[in-house]
Amino acid sequence: MKNTLSQELESLRIERDRRPGPRRRLPGWAWKLLVAVVAVGAAGLLWRGASPQAVDVARLTTAVEIKEAATVLVAGGYVVAHHKIQLGSKVVGRVAWIGVEKGDRVKKDQVLVRLDDTEYRAQVEQARGAFQAAAARLAQLQTGSRPEEIQQARARADEAEANLRNAQTNYDRTRGLDRDGVVSKQEMDRARDQLDMARAQAEQARKNYELVRQGPRREEIDQGRAQVEQARGALRFYETQLDATQIRSPIDGTVLERLVESGEMVTTMFVGERGAKSSVVSLADLNDLQVEVDISQTEFARVSLGQPCAVVPDAFPDQRYRAVVAEIAPEANRQKATVQVKVQVKNPDAYLRPEMNARVSFEDPRAGQAGVRHLMAPRSALFQADGKSAVMAVENGRAVVKPVTVGEEMGGSVRITSGLSSDETVVVGNPAALKSGQRVRIK
C-alpha cells in the first residue's frame, strides 16, 4: 500500500524540465470584430435606456367660484321668451305643406309653411301679359310710323283727291245740263252730294296722312309710358302676393307651437277657433329669456333697474343663472297690490325653457361679487406616491413627481390646493407607470 501511495505522489510531481509551450494569440481582425460587437451592444443598451416614453398630458385649468352677494329679496315667477312671435300670413289660402314640428330650431328666412299658389300664379301671368302689352304699345309710339304706313296714308290721300276731281267734273257737267233743262233736279242734287262727300273724304285723307307722317304726339307717348308703369306696379304686387304664399321665419329661433295643419285655411284676420287660422306657428328665440315676477308693493323698494340677480328653476335646483333686472312695469296691479318685474337671464341654456317656474334672488346692488380661483387637474393625473397624492409633471422633457394637496372633486377634475402652479403640464392616463427623471415625449 505504501508503494502504491508513493507511485501516486510521483505521478503528480511536475518536472522542471517540462516547460509549457508559447500561447496562441488571436489575429488583429478578430480583436477588431470583438470590439465592434461590444460597442454596438453598449450603444443599443444606452439608446434603449435614453428613448423617451410617449405620454398623454393635460394643462391645468382654472375654475372660478363666485361668492354669492347678499340677497335682499327672493320671489317666484315664470320663465318667458323676451320676444314671442305669432307668425301669420299676408294672404288668404289653403295650407299645402308645413315643414316644422314643435321644438324644431329654425333659421331666419327658412320656409315654414307653403300655401296653395295656383290662383296667385295665374294672377302673376295675367299681370305679366298686361305689362308686356303696355310696353309694346309704348315702343310703338316711341318708334313712330313706319315708311310703309306713311306710303299707305299718302296713297289713300291721293285716291281721295282723284275721287274729288271726278266728283267735281261730274258736278260741273250735270250743272250745265241743268241749265239746258236736260237733267232733273234730283240728279242735280245727287251730283252735289257726291261732290261734298268726295271733298270731305279728301280732307280727311290729307289730315290722316299728316298725322301718320308726323308720328304720335308727346302726350300719347307720356300716356303710354304711364300705362307701362301702372302695369309694372300691378305685376310687382301680384309677384309679392305669390311670394307671400311661402311663409318664412323672421328670426333664428325655436318653434313653440304648430298652429295649422295641411288642408286648413289661413286668413289675414282672426275669425275664431273653428274658422280660418290667422297664425301658422309660434316662434321665440330661446337665447333671449326673461323671468316675470310679481313684487309686493311693500317690498318694491328693494328692486331697481340693473340690479344683479340669480335665477334657479324649480325643475333643476342645481342650475344657477346670472340675471339682471331689465324691466319694471310703469304701473302697479291694484287688485294684487304688486308690480311686475322682468329679469333678463344672461346665460340661458337648454335646461331653461319658457313657462317654467323659477326662483329669483335679488342681490344687494351695492355689494360686488368676488371670485375665488381654483386650479383644477384631471382625475386621471393623480396617483399615490409614498402614501400621498401626487402628479407626474413634465419639465424639460422629463417626468417629475410632485406631491400635491387636493380638495373637492368636480366632475372629472379635482381641485389642487397646493403643490402646482397654473402653467404646469401633468401626465394623464397612467402616471404611476413612469419614474421620476425619466425622459418623456408628449403624444
Say how far apart CA 271 and CA 92 lie, in whole Å: 12
Cell of 87: 307668425
> 145-215: which CATH topology?
Helix Hairpins (1.10.287)
Say how far apart CA 28 and CA 402 lie, in whole Å: 54
pLDDT digits (tens, 9 = 90+) for 303-340: 999 999 999 999 999 889 999 999 999 999 999 999 99
Say how far apart CA 111 and CA 105 lie, in whole Å: 12
Does 247 score more than 90 pLDDT? yes
Mean pLDDT taken over the chain: 83
Nearest to 271 by CA among 92, 87, 113, 86: 92
Say how far apart CA 117 and CA 123 lie, in whole Å: 10
| Average confidence (pLDDT) over 157-182 | 86
| Average confidence (pLDDT) over 388-412 | 86
CB 291, CB 80: distance < 8 Å: yes
Does 2 score more than 50 pLDDT? no
Nearest to 286 by CA among 102, 116, 17: 102
Task: Say which amino acid occupies 400.
Answer: V
- 383: helix, strand or coil: strand
The per-residue pLDDT for 40 is 52
- In this structure, what DSSP letter does residue 433 have? G
The two beta strands, 93-98 and 321-328, are unpaired
CB 328, CB 339: distance < 8 Å: yes
Q: Where are the domains of the chain?
A: 53-63+371-442, 71-82+285-363, 85-116+253-284, 145-215
> 85-116+253-284: which CATH topology?
OB fold (Dihydrolipoamide Acetyltransferase, E2P) (2.40.50)
Q: How confident is the model at residue 45 (pLDDT cuts 50, 70, 90)?
A: very low
| Average confidence (pLDDT) over 93-97 | 94
Say how far apart CA 264 and CA 247 lie, in whole Å: 15
Looking at the structure, give the CATH architecture of the domain made up of residues 71-82+285-363. Beta Barrel (2.40)
The per-residue pLDDT for 11 is 56
At residue 413, what are phi and psi to the nearest 5 degrees?
-125, 160
The per-residue pLDDT for 231 is 96
> 53-63+371-442: which CATH topology?
2.40.420
- Distances, alpha carbon 196 to alpha carbons 150, 163, 203, 210, in Å: 26, 11, 11, 22
The per-residue pLDDT for 256 is 92
Q: What is the pTM of this model?
A: 0.52
**Residue 38 or 225, more confident:** 225
pLDDT digits (tens, 9 = 90+) for 225-244: 999 999 999 999 999 999 99
Q: Where are the alpha helices (DSSP H) in 144-263?
A: 147-179, 185-214, 218-243
